[in-house]
Amino acid sequence: MFQVFKKLDWFFKHYWKRYTFAIISLIMASAIGLIPPRLLGFAIDHIQFETLTAHLLTIIIVGYLVLIIVHYSISFLWDYTLFSGAVILERWTRTKLIDHFLRMTPTFYGKYKTGDLMARSTNDLKAIAQTAGFGVLTLVDSTTFMFMLIAMMGFTISWKLTLAALIPLPIMAIIMNKYGAAIHARFTEAQAAFGNLNNEVLESIRGIRVIRAFVQEKQDRNHFEAMTEDVYQKNIAVAKIDAMFEPTMKILVGLSYTIGLGYGTILVFQNVISLGDLVSFNVYLGMLIWPMFAVGELINVLQRGNASLDRVNETINYEADVQNPISPVAVSHVYSIDFHDVSFSYPGTKVNQLEHIQLQVKKGQTIGVVGKTGSGKTTLFKLLLRQYPGVKGKIMISDVDVENLTLEQIRSWIGYVPQDQIMFSKSVRENIQFGKSDATDEEIFRVMELAHFLTDIKQLPQGLDTKVGESGVTLSGGQKQRVALARAFIKDPEILILDDSLSAVDGKTESKIIEHLREERKNKTTFIAAHRLSAVTHADHIIVLEDGKIAEEGTHEELMKNNGWYKEQYEQQQLDDEEVIS
Ligand code: ADP
């Protein structure tokens, strides 16, 4: 259980000054808190023996007041330093976690679901932060403060009475230990169930249109209810143990009081201690309740913190399956891209999704990538983006194996526009500025013209400032694609990849965009994957993929002579277009 402090030692070492200060002031505050009960006993003894003068009473009362003020000030100091430490730890671990998320590849996101990751970044971080605040407080109070109290009772009043009143303590320690283990197990389960629930909510909200369209509301609701029930049951299981803490403590504390009062009275009658001593002793026993509680709370907080820290560390320690090279090669610009006999299968699949791909691209060329759905077009781009490990063969940029280039460098060259673009729930301007953070409105309008978005932006209620809603819900599919395109244009990348990014715009708009594209990207490399072959006819080279292999390749004219899938598909699409026009 105490391993959680060990696991967090990097944090405590970094903030050792803060924690030393907090702990020392906490101990000082506790020590000062020990004086008033003695003052009370002292006053009572003087009352009993009728030796209390007005002068003495004034001194006692003034002393009392001074102690209260000093105690208050020091308590403020430890409370502030200790609990702000917890907030710092929470911020620190959250930053670590988000940095980690940003470095992770699709394999990681395949393993962990979004809802679960959200649970880890919220609830679990809170539980960890508690260890650095409340955990440290209860640790100090249940050890140092308890010993100080016991020493005060033993040395200044009576060891016999103290030991007798403390008999229930070891029993309590044993029971608390048992509770602690149960809490750890149940809390871990409850947190995992919460993660699953989060995920369910996310999926239901994201998939609401499909759920409605397939009239699955009832099933979804039932399923959701079952999940909520699971979370409920698991949290109830935690609450049950939590609820047993306090009554158990109360019984044991009550027992201490009974012994203290009973045996204490006998000692007063035997003249071993004074009446003032007995009153002080009982006040001390009352003060002992908190450190005893603190033992329980300490176990509780540490077990939760430990369970959560394990969950968060499991995520943070997940090694990205694509790593930066140990000694990266610096390449100043992109003059070629080569795929040398590239084969690839996704982790966990047996068949190759790409086989023996051979492709040479020179700076300034436009490459068309076509083929049926599932033929491997996106996979080819993902490999260029280095999203997956385990590539057989070689992918080279400017004659350097991409494995020897840093991921940041590769990605800084590439502007990738996937079919399902990601829109952030910000304004259109901010969404486009993602490609270039300091882009001016003038530049934005220029790329919007290239992406054929100018007429649309005029229709949007607040123009560039229009908020697009979560995942761009207020925009149509075609509009989203064109905003994503503008975002890539403004980056003006060395390598632009349009991965079926024009699928939702009509043919006329598409041909206008392609025209702009040709003009704009004269000296830069562009990959275009498309279903509509009209989007690639102008390309310098076109590859046709079939089951991960290059089935045909050449220019549009060459492929048209081939009598293969390309020609057949092209002619079919021309016919379809004519039908639409007529
Ligand atoms: P395209 O872009 O041509 O439609 P993809 O490159 O997306 O095709 O997919 C090629 C093949 O790889 C398909 O059979 C698909 O099922 C498979 N595939 C795609 N992504 C994954 C993945 N993450 N894990 C396993 N298989 C995948």
Question: Is pLDDT at 202 greater than 60 in this prediction?
Answer: yes
pLDDT tens-digit map of 364-416: 999 999 999 999 999 999 999 999 998 999 999 999 999 999 999 999 999 99
pLDDT tens-digit map of 233-289: 999 999 998 888 778 878 888 888 899 999 999 999 999 999 999 999 999 988 987
Distance 252 CA to ligand 1 centre (A): 64
pLDDT grade for 143, boundaries at 50, 70 and 90: very high
In ligand 1, the atom with minimum distance to the C-alpha of 379 is 6
Distance 371 CA to ligand 1 centre (A): 13
Q: Could you give all domains of the chain from N- to C-terminal order, each with its CATH number? A: 3-316 (1.20.1560.10), 365-388+403-581 (3.40.50.300)
Distance 377 CA to ligand 1 centre (A): 8
Distance 222 CA to ligand 1 centre (A): 32
d(CA 417, CA 484): 6
Q: What is the pLDDT of residue 229?
A: 94
Judged by average pLDDT, the poorest of 37-51, 112-126, 460-474 is 460-474
Distance 500 CA to ligand 1 centre (A): 14
Distance 380 CA to ligand 1 centre (A): 10
Q: Whose CA is nearest to atom 27 of ligand 1?
A: 346
Q: What is the pLDDT of residue 286?
A: 87
pLDDT grade for 581, boundaries at 50, 70 and 90: low
Distance 240 CA to ligand 1 centre (A): 48
Q: Whose CA is nearest to atom 14 of ligand 1?
A: 374
Residue entry with tokens 């004219």:
557
The answer to whether 401 touches 325, Cβ cutoff 8 Å, is no
The better pLDDT of the pair 425, 74 is held by 74
The answer to whether 94 touches 125, Cβ cutoff 8 Å, is yes
For CA atoms 27, 33, 37, 43, the dihedral sign is positive
Question: Is pLDDT at 509 greater than 90 in this prediction?
Answer: no
Q: Whose CA is nearest to atom 21 of ligand 1?
A: 346
Q: Beta strand 392-397 with 366-371: parallel, antiparallel or unpaired?
A: unpaired
Q: What is the pLDDT of residue 372?
A: 92
Q: What is the pLDDT of residue 580?
A: 60
In ligand 1, the atom with minimum distance to the C-alpha of 349 is 25
Ligand 1 pocket at CB < 6 A: 346, 349, 353, 371, 373-379
Q: How many Cβ atoms from other residues are within 10 Å of residue 203's Cβ?
A: 16
Q: What is the pLDDT of residue 460?
A: 87
Choose among 495, 511, 545: nearest CA to 364.
495
Our mutation pick for probing the ligand 1 site, out of 345, 353, 370, counting the most ligand atoms within 8 A of Cβ, is 353
pLDDT tens-digit map of 145-199: 999 999 999 999 999 999 999 888 778 778 877 887 888 889 889 988 988 888 8
Percentage with pLDDT > 70 across the chain: 99
Q: Whose CA is nearest to atom 7 of ligand 1?
A: 378
Radius of gyration of the chain (CA): 36
Phi, psi of 214 (to 5 degrees): -100, 15
Q: How far is CA 487 from the centre of its chain?
A: 27
Q: What is the pLDDT of residue 403?
A: 93
The whole-chain average pLDDT of the chain stands at 90
pLDDT grade for 314, boundaries at 50, 70 and 90: very high
User: Could you give the angle at which helices 477-491 and 507-520 cross, rounded to 10 degrees?
Assistant: 0
H/E element holding 257? Answer: helix 217-269
Q: How many Cβ atoms from other residues are within 10 Å of residue 267's Cβ?
A: 20
H/E element holding 362? Answer: strand 354-362
**Exposed e or buried b per residue across 85-101, where buried means at least 16 C-beta atoms within 10 angstroms of its C-beta:** bbebbbebbbeebeebe
In ligand 1, the atom with minimum distance to the C-alpha of 529 is 2
Distance 543 CA to ligand 1 centre (A): 17
In ligand 1, the atom with minimum distance to the C-alpha of 371 is 3
pLDDT tens-digit map of 469-499: 877 788 888 889 999 999 999 999 999 999 9
- Mean pLDDT over residues 52-75, rounded? 94
d(CA 16, CA 136): 13
Q: What is the pLDDT of residue 246?
A: 78
Our mutation pick for probing the ligand 1 site, out of 378, 417, 499, 544, counting the most ligand atoms within 8 A of Cβ, is 378
Question: Is pLDDT at 69 greater than 90 in this prediction?
Answer: yes
Q: How many Cβ atoms from other residues are within 10 Å of residue 505's Cβ?
A: 23
